[in-house]
Structure 1
Amino acid sequence: MAENTCSLAVALRTLFSLLGAFMLATLLYTLFTDGSPFRKELLTPWMAATLIDFYINVVALAVWVAYKESNWISSFLWIIFLICFGSIATCSYIVLQFLKLSPQESSQDPMYYVLLRNPNKTTAAEPKRKNSFVVALTALFGILGVFMLGTIVYTIVTDGSPFRMELLTPWMAATLVDFYINVVAISVWIAYKESSWINAAFWIILLICFGSAATSTYIVWQLFQISCQDPVYLILVRHGDRQVYSTGQKANIRGFLMRHNSNGGYEQMFLQISLRIQLCKIQESYCFSKC
């Protein structure tokens, strides 16, 4: 199991390194062969719709980056990179997060540690200050999803089908490559979250076909799975991790086990009693929230 999770970390790190390098090569090639992208004739109705689609996905990634970073300066810089360099910045950031993992984290659950900010240092008190984010993000991505759907319908009505060869200019092709690399990043998260490959495949197909409209719908759906009292970052992890982590105790119990693993005698007895008390409290809180 440890070998499989460690190989997963290596595989994902390699995948996003290759995708980032491919996007960089695509950008440079298009720049040299087709000139500047900042030309008015390139901004066709479908190019505008594609850019809106692209940047709504960037908003989703930027929210995660803002959560992950420990200070606003680094968050601001990475978000600027996402806006300016698109999936190149996305891939660079993801690879950097995988490189930060310790060997132990890589062998346990690398996606869990990449998605969450300092999971071993999170306390139960932290989520209480951020409950309003659940409502705010639900409203934000609900509006963005409806806006993107309206944009698609409007562009089809006014400009016709997007499947026309004259629309596939070099910069449109580069934008689509950029867009779908970000879709790959979001798809990896969905594949990690979903317990069934059927559900994961269903959502990934929706992402490929409907872009950020599907991204926004999925995020809103996940936000509806947690209450306003839960920390918003619970949508990043699997449902199995969410039940324990929602009380803010998962990291504390892990750390407690690691610190006392080598002790015996009365300390082992005390550890077992303490853990049972903690688990009873967790079950009680979870049942109460469900009621």
Structure 2
Amino acid sequence: MAIPLAAVLRTLFFVLGSVMVVTLIYTISIDGLPFRRELLTPWMAATLVDFYINVVPLAAWTSYKESNSISAIIWIILLVCFGRDGMQQKRQNSPVVVARIAFSILGCLMLGTLIYTIVTDRSPFRKDLLTPWMDATLVDFYINVVCISVWVAYKESSWISSFLWITFLICFGSVATCAYIFVQLLQLTSQDPLYLVLLNKDDRSENRYERT
């Protein structure tokens, strides 16, 4: 008997959430709280920028999913702190165009951060950078990557394109996230509601048909 995909995803995210909670508790127990100036090395700062840029699309998805603004704000705060169309369309300022510009800027910001950090602090592949809180931040970051990868797998029509984009996400973090979202936004017209970017091609076409 085949296991429903929803059940698999529920189990996956329950396990990932549990891993992150255990990681946080363990890191605090051996290394104290993270609010210490000496922890903010150049590569830790770059990793945090990468992490919070990836939080942006997750926060946007949360805003779309929640039925009221209060619960959406609470979940977004939790996303930021712990790893109905609120995109209502205005004629003079298309949300799709604004989103394209926003994710272009975020992608360029992360790319600039990476280049600057490599120039000023050399390669990140050094043992001395792997402090307990850097390890915890990386676990947190890649759990976010798993969330975005599930969305990419849903969006893409072939396993090959899904694999390539997910590999790109793993290797390049939020630079890849911004690039992917920008590509998806290019498939929308400026008159489309912004939430359509969340849907794959078939569901998007069906949604447009129902609205006409």
Q: Compute the TM-score of the two structures, normalised by the length of structure 2.
A: 0.94
- Equivalent position to 2:145, from 183, 195, 219: 183
C-alpha distance in 2, partners of 1:194/1:74? 30
Could you report, residue by residue, the CA deviation over 1:155-204 in whole angstroms, capped at 9, with x for unpaired residues? 00110000000000000000000000000000000011101111001100
Following TM superposition, where does structure 1 have runs of at least 4 consecutive aligned residues deviating by more than 3 angstroms? Answer: 126-131
Structure with greater Cα Rg: 1
Distance 1:71 1:238 in 2: 24
Give the structure 2 partner of residue 69 of structure 1. Answer: 66
Greater per-residue helix proportion: 1
Contact 1:130 1:232 in 2 (8 A): no
Displacement of 1:247 in angstroms is: 3.8
TM-score when normalising by structure 1: 0.69
TM-fit CA distance, 1:67: 1.5
Q: 1:169 aligns with which of 112, 131, 136?
A: 131
Rounded Cα–Cα distance in structure 1 between residues aligned with 2:198 and 2:177: 13
Partner-residue secondary structure (3-state), 2:4: helix
1:216 is displaced (CA, Å) by 0.5
Write the distance in 1 (CA, Å) between the matches of 2:121 and 2:209. Answer: 51
**Alpha-carbon separation, structure 2, partners of 1:237 and 1:184:** 18
Query: How many Å separate the matches in 1 of 2:28 and 2:163?
Result: 35
Tell me the residue number matched to 2:10: 13
The answer to whether the aligner puts 1:134 opposite 2:131 as a matched pair is no
Note if contact 1:128-1:229 (Cα within 8 Å) is conserved in structure 2: no
Q: Compared with structure 1, are the counterparts of its residues 14 and 225 closer, same or farther at alpha carbon in structure 2 (3 Å cutoff)?
A: same
- Structure 2 unaligned regions, length at least 5: none
Letter in 1 for 2:116: Y
Which digits, 9 at most, give the CA deviation of each residue in 1:42-71, with x for residues without a partner? 100000000000000011111111111122
- Number of positions where the alignment pairs a residue of Structure 1 with one of Structure 2: 210
Cα distance, 1:130 vs structure 2: 5.5
Letter of the structure 1 residue corresponding to residue 172 of structure 2: F
Q: Quick one: distance in 1 between partners of 2:107 and 2:90?
A: 23
Identical pairs, percent: 61
Give the residue type in structure 2 aligned to 1:48. A
Shift of 1:244: 2.1
